[in-house]
Structure 1
Amino acid sequence: MNQRLDRINHFLDGVTRNRREIVTPEGVVLETDVANNGERLTAFLIDFLFWILATILLYLVFALLAVEHMSGAVASTIIFLFAFLLRNLYFIHFELTTQGSTPGKRIVNLRVIDRNGGPLLPGAIIARNLTREVEIFLPLGLFLTMPKIAAGWSFWLSASYFGWIVLISALPFFNRDHLRAGDLIAGTMVISMPRRKLLAELVEAQAKYVFTRSQLDAYGAFELQVLEEVLRRPPSEETKEIQRQICGRICRKIGWTGSDPSGDALDFLKAFYTAERAHLEREQLFGRYRSDKADQSSGRK
């Protein structure tokens, strides 16, 4: 079952993902796609950009309203305090109110879930986000604000902060679920929820490309596998030409009388692949297996 799901996901997404089964408290097994490090880093950088923009806006508003009545030290302290609160409340607020997704995660199609399959509790969200301060922001802030290296102890102290950042940042590379320290402490993980364009296209194409039983009976499992390999080919002009040729052959073989699919051969082939696969699997359930288009036997198992 897992091999079949991996194959389908590779066909739909174009990549092979690290999958994990999670058992809910009700005993339901859910299969999830673990978010990879690149996706998580992209989502974090997007959120970090949003936070920087919000901080700059806050700084400008505060500067216009209050700084002129305060000393520089007091103003800086207040600004840093508000930046700290905004940074943490940004992640905590969005993950609490949008079921484990920040704006960056939504753009990259990621979501935080409980590793044990239970509900994502507020305590876990707060813990995983406050831990980010110790993981990244605190040592990074200390490293950036370190005075100029003038003595040996300053170098080693600065190096220790930098080493801390590197070690903590590298943690997701050393576990199969790409968990950072906050996830380990909070019992959470980040999963990928890709919007599979293929599925939406197939739904939209149902009215345009509808195949009859006799048309689907024209091919067997071997031809379906060949078609799948064609659909896996990297995009190129050569691939498009091959797809157009195969589309024409299929149309002639099944006696296609609908709209001319030559302009969108890839959509036609995807729709035909999905319909043919479902047809062959349904036939196999009734003991009718067809190995290829030349196999005319019935009741074969």
Structure 2
Amino acid sequence: MSLFNHIKVRTPESVELEFTLAGIGNRTIALIVDYLIWGALLIGVLMVWLILSVQIQQYFPNTRNIEMWLTAISILLSFAIYTGYFVLFETLWQGQTPGKRYTKIRVIRDDGQPVGATQAILRALVRPIDDIAFIGMLLIILTKREKRLGDWIAGTLVVQEQRPISSANFKLSPEADSLANQLVATQNVAVLLPDDFAVIREYLQRRSMLDNRAKNDLSLKLARQVRDLLEMKELPFEMTADLFLEAVYLAYQRQ
């Protein structure tokens, strides 16, 4: 029996993916690491602000309510750092903060796609409510999808990092092997996320069950999306979408 819950989500490309939820233990460790880093950052900023506040009070000794304004600004700075820390990292690091990266977990959208700034902001704004009286922890423990309040509002999940498996139970074209070597040499295939790799793998595994029209449409759509992620202007000459996806599948594992 697994100690972690598994969940299946359907991507916009109608590909079903299975993820392992992060679990309360990993999320707690990640949050402790993040709070230690955030706390150190906050202390540093407030110390600088304290020095500046003393200087400001010396320049305006007779200004009424100056202390109240300085205190209000310090509270705003604390809130901005608190929310900005999580928003910045989860947006730039594809759903990860330093703590999440340390524990190898990641925030994704309910449809399996990477989170954006909107989801990261919603999660950060609701986080203080989740921290009050351990509301977030209780919701993670008691709900099937292990979501805190911020996850429900933002439409997100916290899952374990999925590392790709090297073995495949489907056939690949002979041409894909040499093309994969070219991709490794000329493209930064590592920019693809494990979730992107999983979508490609799921398609290659299930393409034989699709009718020709659905298969062609889906393979072309996936190939174009992967091409855009790799920042390639166009696919190599006389290459089918399937062959390109097979080559990317092999190249990702080799790079």
Q: TM-score, normalised by structure 2?
A: 0.56
- Residue aligned with 1:66, SS: helix
Matching residue of 2:31: 44
**Residues 10 and 17 of structure 2 are in contact (CA less than 8 Å); yes or no, is this contact kept in structure 1?**
yes
Matching residue of 1:127: 122
- Identity score, percent: 32
- Aligned partner of 1:188 among 140, 149, 156: 156
Matching residue of 2:171: none
Question: Pairwise mapping of residues 1-301 of structure 1 onto structure 2 (< 5 A)?
Answer: 16-70=3-57, 71-136=66-131, 139=132, 165-193=133-161
1:94-114 CA-partner distances (Å, limit 9, x unpaired): 001010001110001010001
Instruction: Tell me: CA distance 1:19–1:58, structure 2 relative to 1, closer, same or farther (3 Å).
Output: same
1:156-193 CA-partner distances (Å, limit 9, x unpaired): xxxxxxxxx24443111111221000101111000011
Aligned Cα root-mean-square deviation (Å): 2.3
Matching residue of 1:281: none
Q: What is the CA distance between 1:30 and its match in structure 2?
A: 1.4
- Residue aligned with 1:190, SS: strand
1:125-149 CA-partner distances (Å, limit 9, x unpaired): 211111113332xx5xxxxxxxxxx
**Residues 30 and 99 of structure 2 are in contact (CA less than 8 Å); yes or no, is this contact kept in structure 1?**
yes
**Residues 67 and 75 of structure 1 are in contact (CA less than 8 Å); yes or no, is this contact kept in structure 2?**
no
Instruction: Tell me: CA distance 1:167–1:87, structure 2 relative to 1, closer, same or farther (3 Å).
Output: closer
CA distance in 1 between partners of 2:114 and 2:102 (Å): 23
CA distance in 2 between partners of 1:20 and 1:170 (Å): 19
CA distance in 2 between partners of 1:167 and 1:98 (Å): 26
**Residues 109 and 195 of structure 1 are in contact (CA less than 8 Å); yes or no, is this contact kept in structure 2?**
no
Q: What is the CA distance between 1:67 and its match in structure 2?
A: 2.7
**Residues 115 and 188 of structure 1 are in contact (CA less than 8 Å); yes or no, is this contact kept in structure 2?**
yes
Which stretch of structure 1 is more off in the superposition, 187-196 or 51-60? 187-196
Matching residue of 2:210: none
**Residues 111 and 192 of structure 1 are in contact (CA less than 8 Å); yes or no, is this contact kept in structure 2?**
yes
CA distance in 2 between partners of 1:101 and 1:119 (Å): 10
Instruction: Tell me: CA distance 1:94–1:167, structure 2 relative to 1, closer, same or farther (3 Å).
Output: closer
CA distance in 1 between partners of 2:124 and 2:96 (Å): 12
Query: Which structure has the greater CA radius of gyration?
Result: 1
Q: Residue 107 of structure 1 aligns to which amino acid in structure 2?
A: Y
**Residues 23 and 116 of structure 1 are in contact (CA less than 8 Å); yes or no, is this contact kept in structure 2?**
yes
CA distance in 2 between partners of 1:117 and 1:38 (Å): 22
CA distance in 2 between partners of 1:135 and 1:167 (Å): 5
Instruction: Tell me: CA distance 1:125–1:112, structure 2 relative to 1, closer, same or farther (3 Å).
Output: same
Instruction: Tell me: CA distance 1:171–1:83, structure 2 relative to 1, closer, same or farther (3 Å).
Output: same
Q: What is the CA distance between 1:68 and its match in structure 2?
A: 3.6
1:77-129 CA-partner distances (Å, limit 9, x unpaired): 21111010011010001001010001110001010001122342321221111
Gaps of 5+ in 1: 1-5, 7-14, 140-164, 201-301
1:244-264 CA-partner distances (Å, limit 9, x unpaired): xxxxxxxxxxxxxxxxxxxxx
